[in-house]
């Protein structure tokens, strides 16, 4: 198993406080529970910051640029920014701990949200685009926070730990879109364009999330987890043969987990991005858009406890297949639902969120299973780069497809793409069956 030199050297001579965690399973359990509580609190704020910007980003760009074909650019930019930030957050987390890496991402996201507000005031397209890139760092931190709760979890707790981090995002994620109207009115009262109002909420929420992690995520769970793994291997408690076969299995787990997350992210982002624009074309106001997106984002996170339990009990690959089937149903319903039917749009977007939830949690569990703690944060950051780039591609292409064809064509395309999850899982199972027992 590959380990960083600095991690190996630390294992030889640990500080007394760190050795205390290595020697005591009770202290490990206590820190695991404490870490989950802190992650939950930070995710409540992070969810609000993430959702508020996503809800009106496309509408703000459409208003400033005066063209629908560019409406997907904001989501593309913030997810592109998320890609770069995911790599940085992963590296910082591996070197300095989860708290430092995640806090840096959230604080940068808060600064990006402030930049969006200034861009709207100045009507500056270039500043808007640059700020959205920086705002994407908050998105990266919000996603990578799901890993923090798993560092001290047992293999049978990992998906459940991911789900606890994700479901806590629901509180802020659902509140954010439904505060669009209120924040728009507040922004107007102080001379800021109404569509920039939600970014005021996003800035405050991201900054608070970063401060919570920076100040309270101590001792750092990744540092403890790495020290425990190294100590167990040194003492022979864990037997791991660094042969080519085991390396292939680990690589396969990472490839499959990444493929599941990338496909679900692409489909979800593409359909979600153009739904507000589609609704705007048919006379729906900001409050109705906020309602639909609120249900969607709630569906992205609220089922997490049940999903985590199913992933741990039923299996990672089975839930990946369930993700593909759910996204397929969502795309078909979104394509054929009457544009004036809020109820059917809500149902389609709920299915979209649930399908994404299934894919993200099952894919995340596969990644965690495959990566050693000494390289886990870097690996997770690298995978999240692909996740963000997938979202960026979905955001850009969604606007082009919807503008040149239709929202229905976009939704059906997403439904067809979701079926690719099935051959990925079949390939995974076939290759696993060839491994020696």
Which domains, ranges and CATH numbers included, belong to the chain?
12-234+243-432 (1.20.1250.20)
Q: What is the 3-state secondary structure (H, E, C) of 333-388?
A: HHHHCCCCCHHHHHHHHHHHHHHHHHHHHHHHHHHHHHCCHHHHHHHHHHHHHHHH
Q: How far is CA 79 from CA 153, 200, 302, in A?
A: 29, 19, 22
Is pLDDT at 71 greater than 50 in this prediction?
yes
The confidence score (pLDDT) of residue 157 equals 86
Identify the DSSP state of 156.
G
Residue 365 near residue 158 (C-beta atoms within 8 A):
yes
pLDDT tens, 49-66? 877 666 677 778 777 877
Token code pair at residue 395 = 């955001």
Q: Tell me which long-range contacts 401-404 makes (C-beta under 8 A, separation of at least 24).
A: 401/270, 402/68, 402/274, 402/277, 402/278, 403/68, 403/69, 404/69
Residue 9 has pLDDT above 60, yes or no: no
336-386 tens-digit pLDDT:
988 888 899 999 999 999 999 999 999 999 999 888 888 889 899 999 899
Each residue of 73-87: pLDDT tens digit? Answer: 776 787 778 889 999
- Contact call for residues 56 and 74 (beta carbons, < 8 A): no
Radius of gyration of the chain (CA): 21
Q: Summarize pLDDT for 112-168 with one digit per residue, the tens.
A: 999 999 999 998 888 988 998 999 899 889 889 889 889 988 888 899 889 988 888
Q: Model-level pTM?
A: 0.77
User: What is the per-residue pLDDT across 311-336, written as a single tens digit (0 to 9) for each?
Assistant: 999 999 899 999 999 999 999 999 99
Q: What is the DSSP letter of 5?
A: H
Per the CB < 8 A criterion, the answer to whether 183 and 201 are in contact is: yes
């Amino acid at each position: 198993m590959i380990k960083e030199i600095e991690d190996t050297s630390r294992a030889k001579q640990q500080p007394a406080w760190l050795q205390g965690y290595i020697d005591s399973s009770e202290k490990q359990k206590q820190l695991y529970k404490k870490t989950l509580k802190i992650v939950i609190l930070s995710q409540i704020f992070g969810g609000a910051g993430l959702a508020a910007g996503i809800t009106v980003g496309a509408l703000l760009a459409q208003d400033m640029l005066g063209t629908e074909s560019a409406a997907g650019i904001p989501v593309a930019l913030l997810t592109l920014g998320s890609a770069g930030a995911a790599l940085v957050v992963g590296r910082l987390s591996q070197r300095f701990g989860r708290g430092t890496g995640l806090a840096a991402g959230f604080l940068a996201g808060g600064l990006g949200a402030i930049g969006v507000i200034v861009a709207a005031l100045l009507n500056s397209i270039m500043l808007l685009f640059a700020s959205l890139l920086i705002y994407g760092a908050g998105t990266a931190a919000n996603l990578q926070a799901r890993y923090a709760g798993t560092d001290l979890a047992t293999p049978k707790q990992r998906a459940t730990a991911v789900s606890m981090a994700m479901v806590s995002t629901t509180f802020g994620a659902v509140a954010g879109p439904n505060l669009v109207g209120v924040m728009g009115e507040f922004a107007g009262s102080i001379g800021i364009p109404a569509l920039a109002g939600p970014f005021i909420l996003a800035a405050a929420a991201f900054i608070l999330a970063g401060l919570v992690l920076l100040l309270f995520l101590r001792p750092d769970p990744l540092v403890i987890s790495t020290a425990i793994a190294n100590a167990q291997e040194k003492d022979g408690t864990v037997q791991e043969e660094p042969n080519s076969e085991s390396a292939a299995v680990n690589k396969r787990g990472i490839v499959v987990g990444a493929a599941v997350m990338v496909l679900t992210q692409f489909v979800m982002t593409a359909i979600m991005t153009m739904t507000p624009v589609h609704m705007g074309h048919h006379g729906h106001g900001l409050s109705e858009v906020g309602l639909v997106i609120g249900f969607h984002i709630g569906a992205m996170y609220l089922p997490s406890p049940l999903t985590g339990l199913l992933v741990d009990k039923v299996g990672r690959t089975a839930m990946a297949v369930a993700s593909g089937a759910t996204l397929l149903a969502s795309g078909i319903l979104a394509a054929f639902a009457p544009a004036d039917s809020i109820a059917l749009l809500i149902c389609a977007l709920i299915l979209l969120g649930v399908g994404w939830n299934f894919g993200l949690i099952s894919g995340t569990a596969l990644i965690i299973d495959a990566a050693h703690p000494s390289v886990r944060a870097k690996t997770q950051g690298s995978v999240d780069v692909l996740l963000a780039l997938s979202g960026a591609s979905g955001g850009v292409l969604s606007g082009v497809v919807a503008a040149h064809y239709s929202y229905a064509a976009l939704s059906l395309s997403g439904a067809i793409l979701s079926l690719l999850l099935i051959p990925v899982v079949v390939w995974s199972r076939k290759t696993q069956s060839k491994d020696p027992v």
